[in-house]
Structure 1
Amino acid sequence: MNQSVTSDDSNPSQASASTNNSVSTAGAGKNTASKKRFRISLFWKILGWFWLSMVIIITINLFVGYINGGKIHYRPLPPPLENELRKITNKTQNLFDGFRRINRSPRKRQWEIYLLDEQGQEFSNKTYPELLADLHSRVRRHKQPLVAFQRKQAFFGGSLIQIKEKNYWLYSRQRAPLINRHLVESFFRDIAKSILFSIFILSFPVSFLLSWLITGPIRRLQQTTRKMRHDLSNREDLEKLMRRRDEFGELATDFDNLANHLSHTLDSQKQLLSDVSHELRSPLARLKIALGMAENQATSATQDNLSRIKLECDRMNDMLSNLLTLSKLEAQEMSSEKETFDLCQIFQTVIEDGRFEAEQSNTEIQVDIPALCQFHGVKDPLISGIENILRNAIRYAGDNGLIKCSLHQQNDSITLSISDNGPGVPQAQLDKIFDAFYRPDLDRARNSGGVGLGLSIAKRSFALNGGVISAENLEPSGLKVTVKFST
């Protein structure tokens, strides 16, 4: 069974039992953190894109200049061209062996071939481009067939045939596309080892600077928002950003205006809460005086009604006290001077005070507290926080209930916990019970008179002492509230 618990007191509602699952006061923030996916910083994204874009643009410009530079590129014959050259050579040799002239080849000539002798004279006295002459010279020096390409023209060959006992070297023209695989390979072989590597290294500082200029203000704005989360007046970094004369400066100005509006709204809300609480105290005091006079003159028929009125006045008085305490905690008006004291003694004192209330419902309180635990913090808020948690546990443990109070110190941390065997809290609402005025049950626990302030006050009281509060359901039933302090 789950216990529907309000911040200070509420009527428990029945729900199915839940497994143990600790929920911190961060609430939904912790659930969101547990679902975080792999994150890449915006800085590295921008750096990567800038760097890659610069390298690609410079590489393309170099490649365009490379293919338009008029340089002749030589490469060994790849296997497809070797096979094609072998076919051309065999067919040409067969033609001459059959006493056919090469210039009387079939109408649909498959290849445009050239036959050059040792002096570079073409067999049929055809003219040929300078590219072929350079290729012929290189083939004779290397004594192996090659391919040569320049811009849109290419020749390959260098196989030796004999015509009338005279040696000739056979070549074929191949129309090369503007960009081909051989040209790309040649570019990266000639350029990447020298210029391109230097460009890759030299472009990194430029990309790094551009990325830093963009993400730097964003990072400072993020740091400022984190500081303002705890103190809206902490805007030193924001004021520096506001001096910029660009979009980041305008964004910082808009953010500062929003923070001012939010600060003013929160201050007005806190002031209103404090003023209303104070103003209600006077008519409530007069009502109690009138109630006391009425009780002296009451008959047995009206005594029950007056008792009910007195109960409601006491509840209203408690609510106003809680509101004032919450207002002071939020405004940090409560004494913040820290001192060193024995936390075990304070905890034990609060438990002893709570035993009187627990005895009314025959509730047992078990204690597991060491003899001494030195703590440096603000005493009064700490006492108030422990009292609210213990009272909440006593209220929902019910008749003949069981409450366990423990305190343990380990290394640089102190853990304080209070658990009960009540119905517990619906699992989906565990992260909200520390919010002010939150009431998980649908009828808002009117019978208990609570308004959902007790655990909210406890949360803020422990926060002033660096404590983090969380809650979890117990098996088979019950609720455990844990506070962890870093010493």
Structure 2
Amino acid sequence: MKASSLFVKIFLWFWLAMTLIGAIGVVLALTTDPRKADIARHRERLARQSQEIIESYETGGVSALQEKTFELDRRGRSRSFLFKGVDGPLAGGRVPPRVMDLVLLAAQTEEIQVKYGKGGIWVAMPATGGYVYLTQATPPGPIERLLNPYRLTPRLVTAFVVTGLIAYLLARSLISPIGKLRRATQQFAAGDLATRVGPEIHRNDEIAELARDFDRMAERIGDLVGSQQRLLRDISHELRSPLARLNVALGLARQKAGEAATLSLDRIEREAERLNELIGQLLTLTLLESGAERPAHDPVDLAELAGEVAADADFEARSRNRAVRLSAPAPLVVEGSRELLRRAIENVVRNAVRYTAEGTTVEITVAGRDGSALVEVRDQGPGVAEAALEKLFHPFYRAEDARDRQSGGTGIGLAITERAVRLHGGSVRAANVPGGGLRIEIRLPLAAG
């Protein structure tokens, strides 16, 4: 396994994080003693204050001592006393009896003595000349305790922030390229076969290898799809020539044949027309798939366009004892190619006419909804299995149900609709209608302004 592999990176990052957590825990356990920390921090300050008070007393007497202790108490939010012996403070004042024991112990041991109480910390510090300096520090407030770097809480917060930063950097290092790969996959699935992700991922691990594999796969699929499109286009063009010759031969045969051959010739003509329609649809689908067919940006009134399609479809549907009805309350203008949009709507409507039950009506509704133009086409046919709804817009797909048995279609019309709508920035979906029938919705963005 390479040293730059993702496994090694994850291992090292987590190892570092756990090591830091362990080290911080050990340091906290060894160094976090608020009382000792308070004493250590205040020792130098107390020694300096005691020296100032003693000098004031020796040079100015009790009055100077009182002024000095008042100044120190106001500045440090404390109470200060100076002792020489254990008879009581030199400047007067009341000291609790339990604190006098602290003064006596400091004088006897010549070591600093500390006593914690509700009112704060009492500290007795022996000084030269038999003096003992006694001070009471008021307890710090909640914010001061929280921000005190010598206490446990801020140290835990610091440890939490450090380990959180390490975890964030690790997560970002892992997720960022995966996000790029996911977006590239979505673009590729949406039909952008030119999508590549390798140049955006500057790493040398398994994720980079996955990106390179994705690019190779995308290139291979692009080549296969391109070959398929070229094959369909070439076959479609090649079929047009013999089909044209077949139509010429059919016309000559009609002139020479008698009444007995009319039925057979009519059948040949219908099949030739069907083949010609299939070739035209194949060419259209190939152009849409390859991107050679680009929609214009002309204003198109969908209500008017749907009205034209509905009129033509209704004329043909009545010969089959069916009907087409349009509901378009107001004009709805979109931008695009009128011919492509007409083909998209017409394929859906003709598909509905083909499958709707005899004696029923295909309903077309054109309306604005949520800032989009919506064209709904509903038939009264047998519907489609739920599992097959998403596949209806795949080329050459035909559902394995009653619609398939009734159909004479080629399975290309709805595929052309889906690609034409997608080229216009819209979407199309199919859904079964409760009570029977299929509803296909075409959603297109309205023209600006």
TM-score normalised according to structure 1 size = 0.60
Which residue of the partner structure matches residue 320 of structure 1?
A: 279
Are the structure 2 counterparts of residues 60 and 381 from structure 1 closer, same or farther at C-alpha, using a change threshold of 3 Å? same
Q: Is 1:271 matched with 2:230? A: yes
In the TM superposition, 1:125-274 aligns within 5 A as 192-229=152-189, 230-235=191-196, 237-241=197-201, 243-274=202-233
Deviations 1:249-295 (CA, angstroms, capped at 9, x unpaired): 33332222221111111111111011111111111111111122112
Specify the SS of the correspondent of 2:427.
strand
Distance 1:314 1:260, change over 3 A: same
Conserved 8 A contact 1:423-1:477: yes
Q: Which amino acid aligns with 2:253?
A: A
For residue 441 of structure 1, report the CA deviation from its aligned partner: 2.7
Q: Which has the higher contact order (CA 8 A, sep 6+)?
A: 1
Greater shift, 398-407 or 245-254, is seen at 245-254
Look up the match of 2:22: 60
CA contact 2:382–2:402 (8 Å) conserved in 1: no
Specify every segment of 5 or more residues in structure 2 that has no aligned partner in the other structure, as ranges. 1-8, 36-108, 116-149
Residue equivalent to 1:76: none
- Equivalent residues of 1:340, 1:375 under 8 A apart: yes
Contact kept? 1:342, 1:374, Cα under 8 Å: yes
Q: CA deviation at 1:317?
A: 1.1
The separation in 2 between residues aligned to 1:66 and 1:398, in whole angstroms, is: 81
Report the more deviating stretch, 248-257 or 312-321: 248-257
Choose the corresponding residue for 2:426, options 455, 458, 467.
467
1:279-294 equivalences in 2 (<5 Å): 279-294=238-253
Secondary structure, counterpart of 2:431 in structure 1: strand
User: Which residue is 1:331 aligned to?
Assistant: 290
More moved, 225-234 vs 331-340: 225-234
SS at match of 1:221: helix
Residue of structure 1 aligned with 2:409, choices 442, 450, 453: 450
Give, in angstroms, the shift of residue 433 of structure 1: 1.6
Find the aligned partners of 1:432 and 1:281 in 2 and give their Cα distance: 29
Match of 1:345 among 296, 304, 313: 304
Give me the whole-angstrom Cα distance separating, in 2, the residues matched to 1:345 and 1:481. 19
> What is the CA deviation profile of residues 385-438 of structure 1, one whole-angstrom value per residue up to 9, with x for unaligned ones?
111111111112243221111111135111111112122223332222222111
Give the Å deviation of 1:227: 3.0
What RMSD over aligned residues (CA atoms) do the two structures have, in Å?
Answer: 3.5
1:60 partner letter:
G
**Cα gap change, 1:441/1:211 in structure 2, threshold over 3 Å: closer, same or farther?**
closer
- Aligned-partner Cα distance in 2 for 1:205–1:430: 48
Gaps of 5+ in 1: 1-45, 74-136, 143-189
Selected match of 1:370 from 316, 323, 329: 329
Counterpart of 1:31? none
SS in 2 for 1:433: helix
1:74-89 pair list within 5 angstroms: none
User: For residues 17-52 of structure 1, what are the alpha-carbon distances to aligned partners after superposition, in whole Å with 9 as ceiling and x for unaligned?
Assistant: xxxxxxxxxxxxxxxxxxxxxxxxxxxxx99x968x
2:445 equivalent to 1:486: yes
Q: Matched residue of 1:463: which SS?
A: helix
Aligned to 2:254: 295
CA contact (8 A) 1:381 1:464 kept: no
Contact 2:310 2:325 in 1 (8 A): no
How far apart, CA to CA, are the structure 2 residues paired with 1:396 and 1:443? 9
**What is the deviation of 1:203?**
2.8
CA offsets 1:347-390 (integer angstroms, 9 cap, x no match): 11111111221121132222211242221122221100111111
In the TM superposition, 1:6-21 aligns within 5 A as none
| CA separation of 1:211 and 1:314: change in aligned 2, threshold 3 A | same
- Counterparts in 2 of 1:446 and 1:328: CA distance versus 1, 3 Å: farther
C-alpha distance in structure 2 between counterparts of 1:299 and 1:446, whole Å: 35
Deviations 1:51-104 (A, max 9, x none): 8x76654443455578899x9x9xxxxxxxxxxxxxxxxxxxxxxxxxxxxxxx
Equivalent-residue separation in structure 2 for 1:443 and 1:400 (angstroms) = 17
Q: Decide which of 404, 417, 424 is 2:383's aligned counterpart.
A: 424
User: Is 200-209 or 313-322 further displaced after alignment?
Assistant: 200-209
Which secondary structure state, in structure 1, belongs to the residue aligned with residue 329 of structure 2? coil
What is the deviation of 1:472? Answer: 2.0
Q: Partner letter of residue 429 of structure 1?
A: A
Letter paired with 2:342: I
How many residues in Structure 1 have an aligned counterpart in Structure 2? 330
Distance (whole Å) between structure 2 residues aligned to residue 224 and residue 445 of structure 1: 36
Give the aligned partner of residue 18 of structure 1. none
Distance 1:232 1:372 in 2: 36
Taking the aligned partners of 1:258 and 1:191, their CA distance within structure 2 comes to 58
In structure 2, relative to structure 1, the CA distance for the partners of 1:453 and 1:292 (3 Å cut) is same
Q: Work out the percentage of aligned pairs sharing the same amino acid.
A: 33
Q: Is the 8 A contact 2:281 2:412 kept in 1?
A: yes
Distance 1:206 1:67 in 2: 22
Q: Which secondary structure state, in structure 2, belongs to the residue aligned with residue 380 of structure 1?
A: helix
One-letter identity of the residue aligned with 2:368: Q
- CA–CA distance in structure 1, aligned partners of residues 27 and 357 of structure 2: 88
Shift of residue 201, structure 1, vs aligned partner = 1.6
Query: Bigger CA drift: 465-474 or 323-332?
Result: 465-474
The change in CA–CA distance for 1:221 and 1:423 in structure 2 (over 3 A counts) is closer
Give the Cα separation in 2 of the matches to 1:55 and 1:247: 22
